[in-house]
Amino acid sequence: MATEPEAPGPARRTPPAQVSRSIAAANPLRTAPGLAAGRIVPAVTRGLPTRSGESTPDWLEPAMAANGIGSFDWDIRRDVLEGDQRACAILGLDGSAFDRTSGSFLSMLHPEDAPVVRRRVERAVAELGQCGAYYRTVFPNGELHAVRFRGRVLADAFGRASRMVGFVWDATVELHKRERAGELAALREDRSRFIKEAARALSEAVTVRDVARVFTELPLPGLPPDGLALASLEAGRIALLGASGYDDGLRERFDRAPLHPNHPAAEAIRGRAPVFVSSLDEYRARYPEAAPFANDSGRSAWAFLPLVASGRPIGVCVISFDDDRELDADERTLLSTLGGLVAQSLARARLHDAEHELAAGLQRVMLPRTVPAVPGVTTAVRYLAAGSGLQIGGDWYDVVPLPGGHVGLVIGDVQGHDVHAAGIMGQLRIALRAYAAEGHPPAAVMARASRFLADLDTDHFATCTYAEVNVDYGVVYAVRAGHLDPVVRRGDGTAHSVPVAGGLPLGVAPDEEYRVTRFSLDPGETVVLCTDGLVEARDMDLDTGYERLCDAVAGYLPAVGESPREPLEELADRITARAADSSEREDDIALLLLRWDGPAGGLAAQQLRRRIGQADLARISELRGELRDALRRWGVPEMIDTAELLASELVTNAIRHTDRDAMFTARLYQDGGRPRLRVEVEDESDLWPTRRTPGEQASSGRGLMLVEALADGWGVEPRGTGKRMWFELS
């Protein structure tokens, strides 16, 4: 309740002790039934005493009547309150029968205001001063009115409080103004809060879909709409981005519809200013050609807000109401401000969506569209873009079918996180795939890729791991160029990293020679290759990342009867699920999984085929290791030493005495339960081998002698373009 400041009392004052005694003896507020006891006995009087006993001026009564001011006179000693007719009317009392009790009079005051009035009057009486108050009173018919009064306490000849005289006037209009002002202030505060919350929500909206969702869920303060629609302008048509308050049929009808030139939305877009329509009749009068749109919408009032960004219209917001509504200036300002916020957010979201689509499309072109299916293995791949920037980078994976039914695995990461890195990655991926598909061994593939990247002269380097998997018997030949070691999940569910001999990243040293690391897989075991985005982050070091990766890979064993492909896809999902959230991830993630399934029955294929390059003498050593693994898997370890020696001799002869590649084939046959190994080496030379008898000091010429002495059978067979040398062991 608003109150007025009290004016100081009269100049003449009684000493405090005497005032206390006088009030105790004469003030009914403290000693007798009256105002302090809750009883007021009002009456009606005609006149009002003035100071020094002067009569009332002739002009005072008309002035008070013209301004609706009533007067009162309170005899403090007798506790009798007298008032004129206007005062009684202002208080809601009947002057002709003014015999109400004090209880009934006080009951007319608002419960919150009566104590305040009582305290102020008591203080004025005690201090022989004046007082004023603003309070509310309830009329007999239940109406709430507001009253202002102003009074002064007069003293008798002994300096004691005797009377209070004053004025009273109706302040109901002022009360309503204050209430309305309070409501408007609260509404302005709500609208200011709404604009802040809308700006925050729209600033957090990333995509166009996010902007549409935020807009259609906004609670407009003071004017709750019945329909909201957000649409973009595309080639003269309205593309509906989001709507609420409309059924699906109406949405489908207006979506992608041409924008009529006489439609209010078209006027708003042309004029770059909001258009407000307060009724259906106004809509039909202003836009007769577009009236069917209004009739079908089921609305009666609209606000069309153009969305303008960088001086260019990009769409329109439509806010509609079921009833006629004339929006005031504040409401129109609120909606116009909202339209500006939505326009800026929508423009930013459209740019984000366009960049994201460009990045996603470029990444899709750079990465393999599909992973080829290779019999004997199952593969799964994943690619996760970084959470910031253009969401495109230099990470890639590839699966390359190789001659002889084998498969090559590639995982790599070009330095940088931009379009330039992605372009280099695309070139490097194609070159490395071509080198692998030509049949070059892993070390040669990596060396050629490094020279290729250095020749591009891009000042970028790349890390990479290339692994060639012998599908026949599950042997992996891995080469690493500054990249991460692979992780292998064994058949018992455990997982660990496999150390692979490393070299410099691609493009750093064009003449770098890479070493090959060989390890074996059992049927059902899985190789996991990934880029560093999966195992390294700002808050996670490499060792911790490897531990997390191994934990994610380990422990999952496929159930009996499960599809051989589904468990690997589930494993890939589980690994990527443990990566950092997309909004926090700083680097791309490429993931490649290969499980060697092996043939039915869980045994390795009993055939080994391998092409040996004419100038690749290191391949002979690798071939001996593969043959040892194959014979061990085939269950004939007793043949290993002899077969390894004789196979090495035949291959060496083919490489040294011809100028073409050689094809090595080893097969194990079962003749009545007795194993028989046949090894063949084919070349394209017509020059047949000649058996010689070397001297004691000779350094060569004993190969065929060893074959003849140790093999159960051997020979040379002509082919259409060359020959085939073979031997057998039983």
CATH number at residue 20: 3.30.450.20
| pLDDT tens digits, 327-336 | 888 888 888 8
Q: What percent of the chain lies above the pLDDT cut of 70? A: 80
Of the candidate ranges 8-17, 84-93, 212-221, the one whose mean pLDDT is the lowest:
8-17
In a domain, 125, yes or no: yes
**CATH number of domain containing 576:** 3.60.40.10
Among residues 611, 645, 612, the alpha carbon closest in space to that of 628 is found at 645
Residue, of 441 and 253, whose pLDDT is higher: 441
Structural domain includes residue 215: yes
pLDDT at residue 24 is higher than 50:
no
Instruction: Kindly state whether residues 348 and 496 are assigned to the same domain.
Output: no
Per the domain annotation, does 2 fall within a domain?
no
Q: How many CB atoms lie within 10 A of CB 338?
A: 24
Q: Which of 315, 337, 357 is the last residue of a domain?
A: 357
pLDDT for 20 beyond 60: no
The residue ranking higher by pLDDT, 717 or 386, is 717
Q: How far does Cα 462 stand from its chain's mean position?
A: 31
Q: Which residues sit opposite 89 in a β-bridge?
A: none
Query: pLDDT for 581-620, tens place per residue?
Result: 544 556 788 899 999 887 544 445 577 777 777 766 777 8
pTM, two decimal places: 0.50
Residue 362 pLDDT class (50, 70, 90 cuts):
low
Query: Both 143 and 242 in a single domain?
Result: no
CA distance 8 to 153: 11
d(CA 78, CA 122): 16
**Residue 489 within a domain:** yes
Query: When comparing pLDDT for 696 and 663, which is higher?
Result: 663
74 and 202 inside one domain: no
Q: Given pLDDT bands bounded at 50, 70 and 90, which one contains residue 104?
A: low
Residues 566 and 664 in one domain: no
pLDDT of 505 reads 92
pLDDT at 152: 92
pLDDT at res. 99: 45
Cα separation, 76 vs 153, in Å, equals 9
What was the pLDDT predicted at 31?
34
3-class DSSP assignment, residue 462: strand
The pair phi, psi for residue 95, each rounded to 5°, is: -70, -25
Burial class of residue 690 in the structure, from the number of CB atoms within 10 Å of its CB (0-12 exposed, 13-18 middle, 19+ buried): exposed
- pLDDT, mean of residues 701-711: 77
CATH assignment at residue 235: 3.30.450.40
- % residues pLDDT > 90 (the chain): 11
Tell me the two tokens of residue 31. 């000693």
pLDDT attached to residue 39? 37
Q: Are residues 483 and 517 in the same domain?
A: yes
Regarding whether 509 and 410 lie in a shared domain, the answer is: yes
Average of pLDDT values for 296-314? 87
Mean per-residue pLDDT of the chain: 78
Q: Which of 166-170, 367-371, 507-511 has the lowest mean pLDDT?
A: 367-371
pLDDT, position 37: 36
Cα(152)–Cα(71) distance, rounded to whole angstroms?
Answer: 12
Say yes or no: 568 and 494 in one domain. Answer: yes
Contact 572, 383 (CB under 8 A): no
Same-domain pairing of 512 and 633: no
Look at residue 409 and tell me whether its pLDDT is greater than 90. Answer: yes
**Within a domain: 204:** yes
Q: Using the 3D structure, point to which of 298, 331, 357 is the last residue of a domain.
A: 357
pLDDT band (50, 70, 90) for residue 691: low
**Of 61-65, 408-412, 495-499, the least confident:** 61-65
Confidence of residue 490 (pLDDT cuts 50, 70, 90): confident
Residues 336 and 379 in one domain: no
Q: Say yes or no to pLDDT of 430 above 50.
A: yes
If asked whether residues 427 and 531 sit together in one domain, one would say yes
240 pLDDT band (50/70/90 cuts)?
Answer: confident
User: Facing residues of 662 across strands?
Assistant: 612
Scanning the structure block, which residue is given the tokens 């009569």? 55
* 519-533 residue pLDDT tens: 888 888 899 999 988
What CATH number is associated with residue 686? 3.30.565.10
Q: Domain end: 357, 390, 423, which one?
A: 357
Half-sphere exposure of 238 (CA within 13 A, CB side): 26
pLDDT band with cut points at 50, 70 and 90 for residue 67: confident
Number of domains the chain is built from: 4
Q: Are residues 520 and 393 in the same domain?
A: yes
* DSSP string covering 362-415: HHHHHS-SSPPP-TTEEEEEEEE--SSTTS--SEEEEEEE-GGG-EEEEEEEES
Greatest mean pLDDT among 261-270, 296-305, 442-451: 442-451
Whether 9 is in a domain gets the answer no
Res 420 pLDDT > 80: no
Pairing state between β 502-503 and 475-481: parallel
Amino acid letter for position 11: A
Q: Do both 81 and 126 map to the same domain?
A: yes
- DSSP 8-state assignment for residue 534: G
pLDDT at 564: 46
pLDDT for position 424: 85
Higher pLDDT, 375 or 581: 375
The residues pairing with 48 across neighbouring beta strands, listed in sequence order, are none
Per-residue pLDDT band for 565 (boundaries 50, 70, 90) equals very low
pLDDT at 28: 38
pLDDT at 311 over 70: yes
Mean pLDDT is lowest, of 265-269, 502-506, 579-583, 688-692, for: 579-583
Task: Name the token pair of 163.
Answer: 């009377």
Asked if residue 217 is part of any domain, the answer here is yes
In a domain, 179, yes or no: no
Please state the φ and ψ torsions of residue 465, each to the nearest 5 degrees. -130, 130
Domain coverage including residue 573: 369-596
